[in-house]
Amino acid sequence: MSNSRIAAVDVGNDAIKALFGKLDSELYIPNVIARDTEDRPVIGIEDLNEQDPLDGIHIRVHSPALQDNNAIYRVGNLATTSDNPSELDPGSSKSEEDQTLVMLFAALALDAVKEESSFKKTNNVVDASYTLGTGLPLREVKEGKDVGYRSRLLGSVHQVEFLITPKYQGLKVNIKFDEVKVYPEGFAAYINLVMDNDLNIINRDLIDKRILIQDIGGLSTDIAVIKNRKVDNDKAQGFNLGVAEALELIREEIRKKHGVELDSRRDVVEIITKKSDRNHIMVRGSRTSVHDITDRILGELAKKQYRHLRNVWQKNSQSEICYFVGGGAIVLKDYLKTINNNLDGYNIDFFEDEKESIWMMANAYYKLISDFTKRNQKLAPTKSDHKREESKAGTAK
C-alpha cells in the first residue's frame, strides 16, 4: 500500500465532495451527468486548455462495475447545461446506480492527473492506486448493500479517458483500489462531531451522551442513534425522504408560474440558499420573488422531517440532543427551527458553518481511512523484518 493514495469521497446526492492524499487536494463536483458523444462541439476549441477542467469534464468510462460500460458522459457543471442532465431519482439506491460510480471514478481521475498525486504516467496513461474511504446511507448498509458495492470496486481496473476536457484531453487513468472501506453515514457524522483527524477526542461533552444525528440528503434521510459511543443499528432509521423531490416541485412551479426554465435542482438550491436576494429570480429582466412557492413546499417537507424526528425520539426517550447535518439540513434549517420553537420542542442543533455541514461526511471518511492506513502500516512487515526472516531461514538450512 506504499504507493496507494488516500481518497475520502462522499458521493452526495447534490454533489460529490472528495479529499485526497495528505489533504493536499479537494474536489467539489455537482452530482449531475449527461450521456454525450465523443466529439462534443466546443466554441473556441483553440482556447480549451485555458479553461477550468471542472467546467468541462467530458469522459469515457470503462469498468466491469458499470451496467452501461464504455459510455461517454458530461459530468458536473458541463452536464447541467446539457439537454438531458441526469440526477439521482428519489427511491433509488446509491450503491446500485451507475451514476454513483461514474462520479466516483471521475473525481479520482481528476485527482490522479494532478502533480500532487505523483502517479506514474506512460504514454498518456496514468496508473493510479487508491485506498478509498466512502459511505452509504444507513438503510443501504442495514440491507447489506455495502458488501456488493465494495466488491464491485475491488479486484478490477476502472479506466477514465478524458475526451474534450480542458488540460487533460487525451489522458487515460487506470484506477485500482488497494482497499475500500464503506462506512454507514450516521456513524461517520458522529466521528466527525467528536474526533479530530488523528481520532483524538475533541468534544468530550458529547462523547458519552445519547445523541441523534439526522442527516438530510437529496434522496434520503438517516437518523443515527448513538449510544455507548457507537451507532445502535437496531434503532437507527433510514427513510426515502430527501429534498430532491421538493426541489423538483419548486422547479416545476417556477416554470408554470413564471415561465422560467431552471437547468437542474442545483439551480433551485442556489436560489433558496444564496446570501443576497434569497428566494428571488429574474423574470424577463425583473427581480421577482418566489417566496410563496419555496415557503409552501419546503415548509411541508420540514413538517415531514420533524415528524420522523419525533417518532425516533419517542422510541429513544433518553436522547439528549439531535444534530441536523447534510445539505438538506441547510435548506430546511429555518423551517425546522420555526416548527421546533412553536412546539416548545426538542433540544436540536445545526452547524452554522455551512461548509462544515456539507463537508462533514468527506471529513469523517478521511479521518477513518487515514486511521485505517496508519494502523495497517504499523502492522506491515518492514524490510528489516524480511531480512531477519531470510537470515533465520538461512540458519535453519
Residue 386's pLDDT is: 53
What average pLDDT does the segment 322-337 reach?
A: 90
Say if residue 395's pLDDT is above 70.
no
pTM for this structure? 0.84
β-bridge partners, 22: none
For 5-184+360-379, CATH gives: 3.30.420.40
Query: Per residue in 142-180, pLDDT tens?
Result: 889 999 999 999 989 999 999 999 999 999 999 999 999
The C-alpha atoms of residue 271 and residue 291 are separated, in whole angstroms, by 10
Between the two ends of the chain, the Cα-to-Cα distance in Å is: 32
Distances (CA, A) of 317 to 67, 225, 239, 309: 44, 11, 20, 11
Residue 237's pLDDT is: 84
Question: Is residue 72 packed enough to be buried (19+ CB in 10 Å), middle (13-18) or exposed (0-12)?
Answer: middle
- pLDDT above 70 covers what percent of the chain? 93
What average pLDDT does the segment 282-310 reach?
A: 95
Determine how β-strand 71-75 pairs with β-strand 57-62: antiparallel
User: CATH 3.30.420.40 spans which residues of the chain?
Assistant: 5-184+360-379, 208-354
The C-alpha atoms of residue 229 and residue 190 are separated, in whole angstroms, by 9
Using 50, 70 and 90 to split pLDDT, how confident is the model at 388?
low
Residue 11's pLDDT is: 93
> What is the number of residues in the chain?
397
Query: Per residue in 214-262, pLDDT tens?
Result: 989 888 888 989 887 777 878 888 888 889 899 999 999 999 999 999 8
Using 50, 70 and 90 to split pLDDT, how confident is the model at 396?
very low
Higher pLDDT, 61 or 200: 61
On whether the CB atoms of residues 58 and 164 are closer than 8 A, the answer is yes
Say if residue 394's pLDDT is above 70.
no
DSSP letters, 278-318, are TTEEEETTEEEE-HHHHHHHHHHHHHHHHHHHHHHHHHTTT
Query: Per residue in 342-387, pLDDT tens?
Result: 987 899 998 767 777 788 889 999 999 999 998 888 776 555 555 5
On whether the CB atoms of residues 302 and 336 are closer than 8 A, the answer is yes
Residue 393's pLDDT is: 45
Query: Per residue in 82-112, pLDDT tens?
Result: 888 887 777 678 899 999 999 999 999 999 9
The tally of CA atoms less than 13 A away on the side-chain side of residue 95 is 23
Domain topology for 208-354 = Nucleotidyltransferase; domain 5 (3.30.420)
**Helical ranges in the chain per DSSP H:** 77-80, 98-112, 138-142, 145-153, 185-194, 204-207, 244-258, 265-273, 291-315, 327-342, 354-358, 360-379, 383-396
Task: Read off φ and ψ for residue 328, nearest 5 degrees.
Answer: -65, -30
On whether the CB atoms of residues 78 and 57 are closer than 8 A, the answer is yes
The C-alpha atoms of residue 355 and residue 106 are separated, in whole angstroms, by 22
Q: What angle do CA 28, 30, 34 make, to 5 degrees?
A: 135
Mean pLDDT estimate for the chain: 88
The C-alpha atoms of residue 163 and residue 358 are separated, in whole angstroms, by 30
Residue 387's pLDDT is: 54
β-bridge partners, 230: 227
The C-alpha atoms of residue 62 and residue 66 are separated, in whole angstroms, by 8
